[in-house]
Structures are given as C-alpha cells and as structure tokens.
Amino acid sequence: MTSNNNNNNKNKKTALKKLVVNDIVSMKNNEKISVITSYDYWSAKICDNTGIDIILVGDSGGMVMLGYNSTVPVNMKEMLIFSRAVSVGTKRSLIVSDMPFGSYQIDIKHAVKNAIRFIKSGSDAVKLEGGIEIIDRIKAIIEVGIPVMGHIGLKPQTTKLWEGYKVQGNTAVRGSQLLREAIELEKTGVFAIVLEMVTSEVAELISKSLKIPTIGIGSGPHCDGQVLVLHDMLNLYDNIKPRFVKTYTNLSEVILNAIQSYIIDVKTGKFPEEKHSYKIEDKEYERLVKTIKKIQKKSHSRPAPPPPPPPISEKRKND
C-alpha cells in the first residue's frame, strides 16, 4: 500500500517535470512530438493536463482569438498577453511563442529585444518564420541564450502576400531549396523546425537529413512531430479549413447547445434554483422582518418629509 502510494507520488512528480528544449530534441527517433496551439489561461491549463509536449502560442491567435483575416495584423502587445496567460496555465509543457510579423524584420537589435520580451512573459522559446533571409536575427537571438524554433515551407506571414496559401516543395528546385534552408537553420542552432504545407516526400527527406526534430503541419506523416491549431481541431474556427486539419470534436455545437439551454432556463425561470442561491439564517431573517416593520411604522407616523432642495442653478436664480 505504502509502496504503491510512493510510486503514484513518484509518477505524479515525473509527470509534472517541466519539459525543456533538450527533452524535445532527444525525442527525435524515439517518440513523436505532440504540439498544439493555445492562447489563454484556461485552454493552456487543459492542454498542459493532457501531457502535450509543446504548447505553441501561435500568431494564428490573431485569427482564431481576435478575428483578423490573416496572421499579419497581430502585434507584440497582443502576443505577449496570449503568452503570459498561457504561461500562467502551464506547468509541464514547453511553451514556444510565435514572434509576430514586424517584430523581427527590422533589425537584429529589435528582434533580440522582442525575443527577450517573450521569455520575460513566461515563454520557453520563440518561433520565427523564415529561412536564409533571417539567419542573422535567429543567430543573434540564440546567442543571447534564447532557444529558437524555425518555420519554413508555407510562411503565412509573408507567403500570403506573394502567392497565397500554396503547397510548398512541389518541384525539385523548391524541394532542394527547402532542404538547404533546413540545413542552414540547423547549423545556426534552432532546436526544431516547423514544416508547413510541404509535400510529404520533401518533408520526409528533410526530417531524415536533420539531427533536430521537424514538426509538421500539412506536411505528411514522416515529420518527427505534429502541430494543429486548437480551434481547428475542436471546430471552433471555420473561416478557413485546410485539407490538413483533422477535427476531433464539434465544440462550436456543444457551446451553442449549452448557451441555448441556458437561455431557455432563464426565460422559463428554471435557473437559478434554490441550490444556486445563498440563504440568510432563519433567526436573522426574523430579526430583519421585525426591523423592517418598525421602520415602516415610524415612516407612516412621521409628517411628510420636506421637499428636496431646488437644483443649484435654480437656487442661484432665487438668491
């Protein structure tokens, strides 16, 4: 009995051990890495309790939380609020925050400064979209001690501006370009790379060529891990529905039904019931009734109170 209890406690402690970047890297070739997005305290708490490996505070939050029509408008202030809330709700998972568009493009100093703000808000690492063109900024952020996750293939912050959301790595030239970028990012020191909407074959080639893990989204089954946007998998966001999304439940419908039941309960007086209310003690209630009766009696026997004083402006007129 005691030894079972001890084992349970030991397991609980192991389960609660905060994951660090090296834990994620060492999962390559041993265990697939599970990644989900979250942007607030309550959903982060649920995600963390599931044992998910990485919680990504994605810039997709701009779309699914704030209703923007792409990830471009979301800014540092908004992303920092998301990141802070997620960090408060997370005990075990590694938290990676997306650096939003405009927060790392200007120059190295600006990029490092913003990456530091994410770490101060409770994130464990940052993710930047881009390859060779932003290597100097990735290098500088890593040099100050901040772990960086890369992101190549479809880069929603900028790809959308040029060609829209299109499959990446679908020709020999583009596939080899992606492989070169991935190798370059690995050399620079990123601890993992997101491959978004990359053809399955190219994603497999890249995954096999790197020592660091790849995290796929719409990039086939051969990546070292997978990421999904929480709102997509729960069917809480249906403005865009890419083919790579798998919906695990229809939470929109569950929420809609729950709120409709609540409305009916309120309108029909079914809610709140006595069990949802607070009671005054019988003795106190009797005293209250007596006090009220006394007050009422006194106010009936008293002469009518004088009329209220005129408003100041009127008083002045009479003075």
Residues at the interface with ligand KIV (CB under 6 A):
37, 56, 58-60, 98, 194, 196, 217, 227, 229
Asked if 122 and 83 count as a contact pair (C-beta separation under 8 A), the reply is yes
Report how far residue 150's alpha carbon sits from residue 189's, in angstroms, rounded to the nearest whole number: 10
Q: How far is the CB of 220 from ligand KIV (least distance, A)?
A: 15
CB of 10 to ligand KIV, least distance (A): 35
Q: How many CB atoms lie within 10 A of CB 215?
A: 29
Nearest 10 degrees: Cα torsion 63, 141, 225, 238: 0
Angle CA 196–198–201, to nearest 5: 140
Residue 217 or 223: which CB sits closer to ligand KIV? 217
- The nearest distance, CB 252 to ligand KIV, in angstroms, is 19
Nearest residue (CB) to ligand KIV, 74 versus 142? 74
**Cβ-Cβ contacts under 8 Å for 316 (sequence gap 6 or more):** none
Cα–Cα distance, 18 to 38 (Å, whole number): 17
The smaller minimum CB distance to ligand KIV, of residues 14 and 79, is found at 79
Which token pair is 132? 């060779």
State both tokens at 55.
């919680």
Instruction: Provide the 10 A C-beta neighbour count for residue 14.
Output: 8
Return d(Cα 139, Cα 233) in angstroms, integer: 34
Measured between its terminal Cα atoms, the distance across the chain in Å is 90
What's the CA gap between 20 and 92, in Å, rounded? Answer: 9
Least gap, CB of 202 to ligand KIV (angstroms): 17
Q: Does residue 306 have a cis peptide bond before it, meaning omega lies within 30 degrees of 0?
A: no
SS3 assignment, position 28? coil
Tell me how far, at minimum, the Cβ of 203 lies from ligand KIV, in Å.
Answer: 13
Is 196 marked active-site? yes
Question: Of residues 129, 186, 196, 204, which has the active-site annotation?
Answer: 196
The least CB distance from residue 154 to ligand KIV, in Å, is 9
Task: Closer to ligand KIV by CB, 192 or 210: give it.
Answer: 192
Q: How many residues does the chain have?
A: 319
Name the residue nearer to ligand KIV (CB basis): 117 or 231.
231
Of residues 206 and 263, the one with the C-beta less far from ligand KIV: 206
Give the residue numbers annotated as catalytic, written as ranges: 196
